[in-house]
């Protein structure tokens, strides 16, 4: 196939997510044309380690023949049928496997097309339940600065990344945002314990100020992912859940990134953070990125409040529970189990986190943080960790350029780059990845000076 024009076609016809208008039609994007294991291949045929794991999603790695087979078999047998009035055995089986692994009584899986629609569904369900319980004013959602929950109108409305809130309209009366939970930005001399108290009080104060009768839910990522891998202070989620219970506010845990192995467990809420949320949203790793899918998993307790009522939860998608995606999800789950990838993640996490910490010695690096196979390197030109996003926009992109020259793809986010490699990454590949990242950071430091 003649690909000589594809860069032009890409610029002329393909509007990308978060398309920057200043560079519209003038981009020189790296084309990824193939992939195997933890590596992707660019259009020049160069192999690069996939640092971001696609976009936090390629758990079992690329090029799995049995995944292709499972999806092809499903496509041959039943490529699609409407989920509205009918069902199919592959999707029903996948729902059961998810329910078996989800925390506590989270047994009700509403399939969506991705993470944004999962968050949308969670919020719509919370509103639906309150309408049926006769309290239509209990609708507000409390979220947090730097949270990312997606790109539908509702999911974007509860997302708190400042830069993304400038250009598009949001349902501003729906959401309330709590201040940054990053312990890096605590007051000078403030202990982590007092910071934790402050952050939990932020939630309680907000509920009281808005009126508990108006607040429907609190939504939180266990670890804020796109916001820069922000790990909240220890005990944060547990304490927030207690506050939510006190005021009859539901807890939505957005596990779009953290579920399906990223922190070494199927779901992080219960096993890592000791909480049983009312609703968990997931996507990404649930099919290892082989097909689009997401889900809002709702507790039996909430379902019991609406079951039997003369009402319809009029929410859903043509592709809810798509059979080919469900086949991919089932096979990915089987591989994660057969290859003991959750145990593997728990075993290699200390190596990954230790290598990450060592990057803190490089002059432009102002903070390194992470959990499981999630990591973030934050940089600054002036070396001040408190100078957050400031004017250091191009640092992340430059790190990516320098790393790509040396065989690693990273995900630049303003002055940060984030890492979430495929879960199959070996110890030696982790070392190799960080070795390249170190060289990329040093080269960026030289470029800046
Ligand atoms: N929630 C979280 C925590 C995410 O990180 C993302 C995407 O990065 C989403 C929701 C939205 O998912 P999607 O892009 O699949 O719609």
Which residue's CA is minimally distant from atom 7 of ligand 1? Answer: 150
Pocket test of ligand 1: the residue of 120, 144, 148 to mutate, having most ligand atoms within 8 Å of its CB, is 148
Answer yes or no: is pLDDT of 391 > 60.
no
Q: What is the pLDDT confidence band of residue 68, given thresholds at 50, 70 and 90?
A: very high
Which residue's CA is minimally distant from atom 14 of ligand 1? Answer: 115
Identify which of 406, 411, 401 has the alpha carbon closest to the alpha carbon of residue 432: 406
Strand pairing of 175-178 and 250-254? unpaired
Looking at this predicted complex, what is its ipTM?
0.99
CB 121 within 8 A of CB 315: yes
Identify the residue whose tokens are 């432009």.
364
* Residue-averaged pLDDT of the chain: 95
Cβ–ligand 1 distance for 227 under 6 Å, the answer no
Q: Residue 107 and residue 245: Cα distance in Å, rounded?
A: 20
Identify the residue whose tokens are 């830069």.
163
CB 210 within 8 A of CB 173: no
Q: Which long-range contacts (CB under 8 A, 24 or more apart) does 343-350 make?
A: 343/264, 344/423, 344/424, 345/261, 345/262, 345/263, 345/264, 345/372, 345/373, 345/423, 346/264, 348/373, 348/425, 348/426, 348/427, 348/430, 349/264, 349/373
Kindly report, residue by residue over 14-66, the tens digit of the pLDDT: 999 999 999 999 999 999 999 999 999 999 999 999 999 999 999 999 999 99
Cβ–ligand 1 distance for 257 under 6 Å, the answer yes
Cβ–ligand 1 distance for 116 under 6 Å, the answer yes
Kindly report, residue by residue over 215-244, the tens digit of the pLDDT: 999 999 999 999 999 999 999 999 999 999
Q: What is the pLDDT confidence band of residue 388, given thresholds at 50, 70 and 90?
A: low
Which residue's CA is minimally distant from atom 10 of ligand 1? Answer: 149
Q: What is the pTM of this model?
A: 0.97
Kindly report, residue by residue over 314-359, the tens digit of the pLDDT: 999 999 999 999 999 999 999 999 999 999 999 999 999 999 999 9
Cβ–ligand 1 distance for 149 under 6 Å, the answer yes
CB 377 within 8 A of CB 357: no
CB 139 within 8 A of CB 214: yes
Q: What is the pLDDT confidence band of residue 447, given thresholds at 50, 70 and 90?
A: confident
* DSSP result, 383-445: --TT--STT-THHHHHHHHHHHHTTEE-EEETTEEEE---TT--HHHHHHHHHHHHHHHHHHH
Cβ–ligand 1 distance for 202 under 6 Å, the answer no
């Amino acid at each position: 196939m003649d690909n000589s024009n594809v860069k032009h076609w890409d610029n002329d016809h393909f509007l990308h997510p978060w398309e920057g208008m200043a560079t519209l039609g003038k981009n020189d994007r790296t084309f990824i044309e193939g992939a195997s294991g933890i590596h992707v291949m660019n259009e020049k045929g160069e192999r690069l380690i996939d640092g971001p794991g696609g976009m936090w999603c390629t758990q079992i790695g690329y090029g799995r023949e049995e995944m292709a087979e499972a999806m092809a078999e499903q496509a041959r047998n039943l490529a699609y049928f409407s989920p509205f009035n009918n069902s199919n055995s592959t999707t029903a089986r996948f729902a059961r496997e998810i329910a078996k692994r989800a925390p506590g009584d989270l047994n009700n899986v509403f399939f969506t097309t991705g993470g944004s629609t999962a968050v949308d569904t969670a919020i719509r369900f919370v509103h639906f339940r309150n309408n049926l319980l006769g309290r239509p004013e209990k609708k507000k959602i409390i979220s947090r600065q730097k949270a990312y929950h997606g790109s539908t109108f509702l999911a974007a409305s509860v997302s708190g990344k400042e830069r993304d809130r400038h250009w598009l309209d949001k349902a501003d009366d729906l959401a309330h945002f709590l201040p940054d939970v990053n312990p890096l930005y605590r007051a000078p001399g403030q202990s982590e314990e007092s910071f934790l108290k402050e952050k939990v009080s932020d939630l309680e104060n907000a509920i009281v100020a808005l009126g508990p009768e108006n607040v429907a839910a609190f939504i939180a990522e266990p670890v804020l992912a796109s916001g820069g891998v922000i790990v909240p202070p220890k005990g944060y989620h547990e304490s927030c859940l207690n506050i939510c219970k006190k005021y009859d506010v539901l807890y939505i845990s957005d596990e779009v990134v953290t579920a399906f192995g990223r922190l070494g467990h199927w779901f992080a809420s219960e096993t890592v953070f000791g909480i049983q949320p009312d609703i968990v949203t997931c996507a990404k790793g649930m099919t290892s990125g082989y097909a689009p899918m997401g889900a809002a998993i709702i507790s039996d307790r909430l379902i019991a409040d609406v079951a039997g009522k003369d009402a319809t939860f009029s929410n859903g998608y043509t592709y809810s529970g798509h059979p080919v995606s469900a086949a991919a999800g089932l096979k990915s789950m089987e591989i994660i189990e057969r290859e003991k990838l959750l145990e593997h993640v728990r075993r290699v996490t200390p190596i990954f986190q230790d290598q990450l910490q060592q990057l803190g010695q490089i002059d432009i690096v102002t903070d390194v943080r992470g959990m499981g196979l999630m990591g973030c390197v934050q940089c600054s030109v002036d070396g001040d960790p408190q100078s957050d996003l400031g004017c250091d926009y191009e640092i992340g992109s430059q790190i990516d350029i320098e790393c790509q020259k040396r065989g690693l793809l990273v995900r630049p986010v303003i002055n940060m780059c984030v890492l979430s490699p495929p879960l199959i990454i070996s110890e030696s590949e982790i070392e190799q990845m960080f070795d390249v990242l170190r060289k990329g950071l040093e080269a960026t430091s030289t470029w800046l000076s």
